[in-house]
Amino acid sequence: MAASIRKRRCGGHALAACALIFVELACTGGATPPEPQEGTTDVTMENSRFTPENVTINRGERVRWFNAESGIYPIPHTITSGDPADNNEGELWDSGSMSPGESFTQQFDEVGVFEYFCEFHYRMGQMRNATVTVVEPQPQP
């Protein structure tokens, strides 16, 4: 009988320790974003949204997307070119599944407006119809 009581107490302590870890994980921030790079515009994926949702860059520059999701459940995202309603999704680029803390970089060598979305969450308004607008670089005075 003493062994079963001890087991229950130990189980209770283990449960309390698990609850403490659970709270710590829920309260800690996401992974550290990569260092800024010249010629690279950063977009963060957090709270199931792209921030900023629309960016404008010069031809030849890059966009780097960083999955900064945090919390209890790791939320993966994708960076997929096109629109899920069209047949062109993923034709220009597709990051594949990105776990929190991972990043994906795409260089843009053509002028135009490039739409993208997250394959897992495109039904959420913020994870669809995001754009990268690429313009010709302006000469420096």
Same domain, 100 and 48: yes
Of 41, 84, 37, 34, the C-alpha closest to 59 is: 41
pLDDT in tens, 104-120: 999 999 999 999 999 99
Same domain, 1 and 60: no
Local structure of residue 36 (DSSP, 8 states): P
Same domain, 53 and 106: yes
Structure tokens at 120: 């897992």
Residue 8 pLDDT: 37
Q: State how far the Cα of 131 lies from the Cα of 22, in Å rounded to an integer.
A: 36
Is 140 inside a domain boundary? Answer: no
Q: 0.85 exceeded by the pTM? A: no
Structural domain harbouring 64 = 40-135
Residues 6+ apart with CB under 8 A from 64: 34, 37, 40, 41, 42, 43, 103, 104, 105
Contact 137, 58 (CB under 8 A): yes
How confident is residue 141, by pLDDT bands cut at 50, 70 and 90? confident
Q: Give Dmax over CA atoms of the chain in angstroms.
A: 86
- Return the half-sphere exposure (C-beta side, CA atoms, 13 A cut-off) of residue 88: 7
pLDDT in tens, 80-137: 999 988 888 899 999 999 999 999 999 999 999 999 999 999 887 778 899 999 999 9
pLDDT in tens, 22-73: 333 333 345 787 888 899 999 999 999 999 999 999 999 999 999 999 988 8
Same domain, 50 and 26: no
Collapsed DSSP state (helix, strand, coil) of residue 19: helix
Is 104 inside a domain boundary? Answer: yes
Collapsed DSSP state (helix, strand, coil) of residue 127: helix
Is 141 inside a domain boundary? Answer: no
- Whichever domain contains 52, its CATH number is 2.60.40.420
Residue 4 has pLDDT above 50, yes or no: no
